[in-house]
Amino acid sequence: MSDYNLIDEPWISVVVDYKGTTKLVGLKEFFEHAHEYIALAGDMPTQDFAVMRFLLAILHTVFSRYDAHGEPYEMIELNDRMQQIEKVDLEDEEDYEDALMETWKDLWNAKKFPEIVVKYLDAWHDRFYLFDDKYPFYQVTKEEIDTSKISKASPSKILGKNINRLISESGNKIALFSPKYDANNNKGLLTYDELTRWLITFQSYTGLSDKVIFGNEKYKASKGWLFDLGGVYLSSDNLYQTLILNLILINRSNVNYNYSVQKPCWENAPSKLVEKAIRSSCIDNIAELYTTWSRAIYFNKFNMDDVFQMEIVKLPDIKHEDMFLEPMTLWKYNNVGDNKGKFTPRKHQLNKSLWRSFGLMTKFEEAGEVNSKIPKRKPGIIEWLNDIDESIKNQHIKINAISMEDDGNATSWVPINEVEDKLDIGEFIVNDLQKNGWVDRINNIVDRTKDIIEKNYRAFLNDIAKIRGIESGAFTSSSIESMYFKIDKPFRDWLTNINYDDNKDEKEQIWNKELKNLVIRQAKIIIEQASPKDFTGIIENDSVKNIVTAYNNLMSNINKKL
């Protein structure tokens, strides 16, 4: 029994015009017309991120073996299913890297995908059936989750309304404000195209609320690889350009990854994938990373009028420490704990704009570097952007951020919200890496902006709280976030309007003036709402501290820094 092949059936939602019109397309149609589509248009941004990485896994697989003209690289041996047999020989590695870079440039200039992508999909047509007895897409067969192989009498059961993250309703808790009403079990219904998108998403953002594992010896279970990432990716004017911008054919973080054989999940049998996941937490190729599973999933063919249900078993987690094969995340350096001296992915924080992490995206400092208090590491996608600088001159790009927020419960890690943001800038900004270049300047401007808000404006707020005799915590925190909200759009506008030939000093002064006006305006609002007690003030160190002296201190400190 084989049904609903993703190469032929429409399931990928894309935007086709600037009116926002969307349509569903299959993989074949998608790769033939990607240059005509504007963006992915799935059910939510985290879903689009997961689906984009699946699409990139196809491209990484194909173009690690074939060039942009559909010709196999001479240093690679392929079988009759277009599958690489062995790693590139040591003496051919340099030539292979040169060929990969040439392929990327040719693809960028071609502006549409070559026929080789669809030929590859045709060669693996039998591995893209949503329902299949041997190779069900992103699933295992019933035999793989037999009672003899798992820790409980039966696998965990997950309903359609739970994997649909627009609802995320379990059997025990009703989701209020759901986009689907519950008459006739409507919340639990999924069409095949919806199921495919949510299946990919569920393998990427899972949580830990289910309880069944393989065997009886405990292991650290995956909550979905993307769940732990502070996702970062690039986008441009159409889907073709977006995919090519994110197609990192050369990994600068660890060159050994460049010679690994790409192993996407569909090129392996479900039993082998489960066996590999349990045996090893290490992954050495990007196609495998982009299609890694968090769960062994099984479900039967079903009628779309029936409530959907699937059975799942936890798979082990992937090694996170110094996992620089992953190019699409922010990194944090750990000074303490089990991961001391290691980098691990850093999630985005709710209500904290991406520009506030500009330094984490653009600075690269090795551990122990002189004058570096905390080592920093760029996301691999930004390193790649620096590498392809010459090929994409004057290209306007967006740096996008995406994360899934959890419930804070370490026993469940239920996905509850998503964090999304973007910066719209010219590529020349991120690639101006020289001393006192745009990257250096903007990092300093962001640091100074945060310093004025976090130190000077915070000190002003703490003084007000002390004068009023109230706890500073809630009052100060909410006022700080309000200040960030006030400056967010003006800063984005300032950043977006930077042109290649702008005078850096003049541009910096424009922001300094804007920042000063915004902070002073916000401080004056507090003064206008002041009570007589605020003006009377308190005695501190034999002098009067009131709202006027607090404001004067704020003004003095801002003038010194700006």
* C-alpha–C-alpha distance, residues 147 and 143, integer Å: 9
pLDDT (0 to 100) of residue 305: 81
pLDDT band at 451 (very low <50, low <70, confident <90, very high): very high
pLDDT digits (tens, 9 = 90+) for 205-256: 999 999 999 999 999 999 999 999 999 999 998 999 999 999 999 988 777 7
pLDDT digits (tens, 9 = 90+) for 117-127: 999 999 999 99
- The answer for residues whose C-beta is within 8 angstroms of residue 334's C-beta and 6 or more apart is 340, 341, 342, 343, 344
Q: Which of 61-70, 154-163, 362-371, 492-501 has the lowest mean pLDDT?
A: 362-371
> Does the structure show a pLDDT above 50 at 399?
yes
* C-alpha–C-alpha distance, residues 66 and 86, integer Å: 15
**Alpha helices, DSSP H, located in 124-169:** 160-163
pLDDT digits (tens, 9 = 90+) for 526-552: 999 999 998 998 988 888 899 999 999
Give the type of residue at 50. A
Contact 195/308 with Cβ under 8 angstroms?
Answer: yes
> Does the structure show a pLDDT above 80 at 182?
no
The 8-class DSSP code of residue 365 comes to: B
* Cα maximum dimension of the chain: 88
Specify which of 159-168, 319-328, 465-474 reaches the highest per-range mean pLDDT: 319-328
Contact 316/219 with Cβ under 8 angstroms?
Answer: yes
* C-alpha–C-alpha distance, residues 49 and 230, integer Å: 12
Token pair for 305:
């009028």
pLDDT digits (tens, 9 = 90+) for 200-218: 999 999 999 999 999 999 9
* C-alpha–C-alpha distance, residues 59 and 71, integer Å: 15
Token pair for 123:
């060669």
